[in-house]
Chains A and B, each alone.
Chain A
């Protein structure tokens, strides 16, 4: 890694902006001392490589990742989550190179599960957790983005070809509200023990708000809730509807999970029900992109629907386990649905990595 020279913090910040090393917002200038301290916070050697970040194929060393964390405003407590996040997106199944280059707006949504939610700077899972005002969420998600820019080489219009992008490309990190959720920790569905911590990452669009007001006196309330979420999942403009792969994230608020709980449904039941109900008619697809649909959008679809009737239904996702269902957010009327890009050789699969809390070193008197 090379060092830059500047006469002042102000000049250094301007230099970083000029070099395209920022996300457009001011960053904490990553001085050698600050980076060295952040490296120490990870508990790893600075030259340890976490993976290859495309499309530039930069080696994601601990030192470079620590630099991104410093720039993003992370505290040492956040470091284990940032490291786990980078390790996760470098897994080949995530298709990072293709994802960074796509014209779609996708961004990596980090879902933090387990004790790290509290141990790593109190990562928010309640009111406005995906919005401003939560330092850990903002800094951790931003650190991953800055690593994708500076190690992965994603720059708008030349290597990151997202036509519009979305605000989650600045930062997109949330914790699961495990304590108040009727579901076991989301990470346990990926094989982790409840007392382990993990970050689960999926390529996601911005949240699509889903309005639902429950009625305790209505025995069909849960049906209505599942139906409206499924309708949003089957948004005819989404990639999921056209490619029917990838993942869809469903973040339910506590009032909505209460409806699920009263109906006695488990997470896997919700996934199955949503997969069953999230459908779109052949006629709708024919009306959207008649030529493309007739040709077959994917190789699997070639000729598949040529004889189908307009009223026949197509399921949006083939595999219910690709619907990430979790609780987060404040109490109220809205659940969030995030469709995904779902292209790339592995269909931009869901990835995860353990957050190793026992690696971090205490740094006496540390103030970044």
Chain B
């Protein structure tokens, strides 16, 4: 009885002691790495720039210990042959333990993206703290370090500023893409769809952007902005697309929620503005004589957002003609986007997956050559169906 009791107690103790969350760390011992920037040095090493939060200087916190007025984030850089080496080495320069669980953003320089991101993805997926729900963006025109160094006015932490921009820009404008890293990695791994990533650029002088004065001006000297979509072929950046082409890409990917279309009317350019409220995209693959073809059908609902010419909006036949015009405009964007992707031989739309679903046997045969042979010559028919549901308050603009 006594022995059984002792055994029970010791077993319970083992269970308790061995399975606990043993790595206790105080909040004040942690350096929260909120964003990672990755560049390639001239020697071919990785240059990791870690954006670390200075908690005391973030808005909302009680300023204490004389740190008031300091910058909300600091950048620590280090180099290494591998991503993890570069980021580990940074601990030489930081007084606290680097903590990656709250890393929400990874900025990769265009240069590195063109060389391939395989190693980067591997390091991220493997890291025990890093979350693959973070966002990945490509620094366009400047290095990742420079992008992360820019101080931003509204969201004090610039990483958060970029994340918020990604989120709301996709929602309201639809020329950029807001996707998690894990999704990108999955797209590459499954290989039927190549990733599309958003570019980030600096407007203004990046050297001035580092300074606190940058956020003390109503017109900052340097600003971060989202800039275009980067088309990838596997893990390599191959091309940038911008403006309507980028939006056309988002139409096909069914990621347009609200966007603004403008169409010319009676000779006037951009006469009518249209805001989508809901959209749906159907991608179907058909096989004819052993050759696949794709048909895309886009349905969108929306309302008139602007009319710069006096037309009678109570006239339904006019509205139907307007819808036709909108359909033409959207179709044009989509076709442009598809052309761009076909030229680069990268299936970023997941057409391959549609073919796979429609004809699994055929897919087995053509899978290897899909991107390079079949996709560029793929016959894609686009149909669009736009509906104007409302014209808002005015029937007859004056």
A, B in one complex: no
Q: Which residues of A contact B (CB under 8 A)?
A: none
